[in-house]
């Protein structure tokens, strides 16, 4: 029996994507070959790659000058790669510290420039999105880096910062979950590991705005230079063919569902179901401040810690898995990315209410 999986990532993908991907491993589009054995330079894979780039453009309404590329090394490699590509020696960037992933991006970027943490919610356990920025007048910031959705704490930006510099955004856990609308013009670079809302682990989407690269001085190793991958349309070397293919299928699915507007509607409705249970409960307590709550990762604890294990067991017995909170925060986290159905969320909500009635 298929379980309802609330795992934070790798996480569920649409069932039809699992089925199409399985078929492609056996016989890719009637070629008599597995997708896994065809050349990445073949016409067949070339079409996949083209469609994947095109779908990113379409779904996010990317204007001219924005280049989607598919890379390897996870979002974690972007922590240093973006700084290498965007910062000239001695230049500076503003970073907002909203948790583990932004802290890691700060640590890595510091190897390549002056990194100023202009706001942080560390002192309050990363339970909110800080918006009071402290600027250092002597610095001329190239960009501001934010993590749009904080997978571990369950916080999310619902309003993009109003600052006079390009935003560099880690969207690993909320890419394609909502439209960017005009906000795209604020974005100098977007990156996202695939394994939450986009596809399987193994590929990272990076979207680079051309002008962001103009400050670069000197040579970078070929593979670490965004220009290499932009020029070769993500096929300078052998790209991760299977993760790109599955990501392409997932993007097709998103498009068929009505695109990012439809995703946002669906995601808001799903999140509301769980937050309503939390807000009306004497047992469950939300982790994140209400105004910054994530539509992707719903984090909560139990007021009585002793009941945590029984609750987890109760969920497992009822087919719901993957809700244990991140080891650094504890409690619970229900990840309800695009592919999670409203019915799946309603089942978890019912289990929460049922558990509370029983104890």
Candidate residues 85, 151, 250, 335; the one interacting with ligand PLP per rule CB under 6 A: 151
Q: Rounded to whole angstroms, how far apart are CA atoms 78 and 17? A: 27
CA-based nearest residue to 209, from 231, 234, 235, 186: 186
Candidate residues 74, 179, 310, 330; the one interacting with ligand PLP per rule CB under 6 A: 74
193 touches ligand PLP (CB under 6 A):
yes
Nearer to ligand PLP, 76 or 257 (CB): 76
Nearer to ligand PLP, 130 or 193 (CB): 193
* Min CB(160)–ligand PLP separation in Å: 16
Contact of 295 with 288, CB cutoff 8 Å: no
User: What is the x/- site pattern for ligand PLP, positions 37-66, by CB under 6 A?
Assistant: ------------------------------
267 touches ligand PLP (CB under 6 A):
no
Tokens of 147: 């993590």
Rounded-to-10 torsion of CA 284, 290, 294, 298: 0
Tokens of 166: 């390009």
Tokens of 211: 């002008």
Mark whether 101 is an active-site residue: yes
From the list 97, 101, 174, 292, the catalytic residue is: 101
Q: What residues have CB less than 8 Å from 127, skipping those under 6 apart?
A: 121, 153, 155, 287, 288, 289, 292
From the list 97, 174, 196, 292, the catalytic residue is: 196
Stretch that binds ligand PLP, among 129-137, 167-175, 281-289, 336-344 (CB under 6 A): 167-175
97 touches ligand PLP (CB under 6 A):
no
Mark whether 116 is an active-site residue: no
Candidate residues 103, 127, 147, 294; the one interacting with ligand PLP per rule CB under 6 A: 147
247 touches ligand PLP (CB under 6 A):
no
250 touches ligand PLP (CB under 6 A):
no
Contact of 332 with 348, CB cutoff 8 Å: no
246 touches ligand PLP (CB under 6 A):
no
Stretch that binds ligand PLP, among 45-53, 116-124, 165-173, 222-230 (CB under 6 A): 165-173
Q: Rounded to whole angstroms, how far apart are CA atoms 23 and 18? A: 9
10 touches ligand PLP (CB under 6 A):
no
9 touches ligand PLP (CB under 6 A):
yes
CA-based nearest residue to 17, from 212, 250, 245, 227: 250
Strands 155-156 and 114-120: unpaired
Task: Tell me the three state secondary structure of residue 95.
Answer: strand
Q: Rounded to whole angstroms, how far apart are CA atoms 281 and 302? A: 10
Stretch that binds ligand PLP, among 21-29, 134-142, 169-177, 350-358 (CB under 6 A): 169-177
CA-based nearest residue to 10, from 152, 201, 177, 147: 201
Mark whether 253 is an active-site residue: no
Residues in the chain: 359
Q: Which residues belong to the active site?
A: 101, 170, 196
Binding site for ligand PLP (CB under 6 A): 9, 74-76, 101, 147, 151, 170, 172-173, 193
């Amino acid at each position: 029996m298929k379980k309802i999986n609330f795992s934070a990532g790798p996480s569920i993908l649409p069932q039809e994507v699992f089925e199409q991907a399985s078929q492609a491993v056996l016989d890719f589009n009637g070629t008599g070959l597995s997708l896994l054995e065809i050349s990445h330079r073949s016409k067949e894979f070339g079409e996949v790659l083209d469609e994947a780039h095109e779908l990113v453009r379409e779904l996010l309404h990317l204007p001219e000058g924005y280049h989607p590329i598919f890379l390897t090394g996870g979002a974690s490699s972007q922590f240093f790669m973006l700084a290498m590509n965007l910062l000239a020696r001695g230049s500076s960037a503003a970073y907002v510290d909203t948790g583990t992933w932004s802290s890691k991006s700060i640590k890595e970027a510091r190897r390549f420039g002056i990194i100023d943490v202009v706001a942080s919610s560390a002192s309050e356990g990363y339970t909110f999105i800080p918006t009071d920025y402290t600027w250092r007048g002597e610095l001329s910031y190239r960009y501001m880096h934010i993590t749009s959705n904080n997978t571990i704490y369950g916080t999310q930006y619902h309003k993009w910062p109003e600052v006079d510099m390009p935003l560099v955004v880690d969207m690993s856990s909320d890419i394609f979950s909502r439209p960017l609308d005009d906000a795209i013009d604020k974005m100098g670079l977007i990156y996202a590991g695939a394994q939450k809302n986009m596809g399987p682990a193994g590929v990272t989407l990076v979207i680079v705005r051309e002008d962001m690269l103009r400050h670069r001085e000197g040579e970078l190793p070929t593979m670490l230079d965004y220009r290499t991958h932009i020029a070769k349309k993500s096929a300078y070397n052998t790209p991760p063919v299977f993760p790109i293919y599955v990501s392409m299928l997932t993007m097709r699915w998103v498009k068929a569902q009505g695109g990012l507007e439809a995703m946002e509607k669906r995601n808001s409705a799903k999140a509301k179901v769980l937050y309503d249970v939390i807000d009306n409960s004497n047992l469950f307590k939300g982790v994140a401040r209400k105004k910054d709550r994530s539509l992707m990762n719903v984090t909560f604890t139990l007021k009585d810690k002793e009941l945590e294990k029984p609750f987890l067991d109760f969920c497992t017995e009822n087919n719901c898995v993957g809700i244990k909170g991140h080891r650094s925060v504890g409690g619970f986290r229900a990840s309800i990315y695009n592919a999670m159905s409203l019915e799946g969320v309603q089942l978890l909500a019912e289990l929460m209410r049922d558990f509370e009635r029983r104890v």
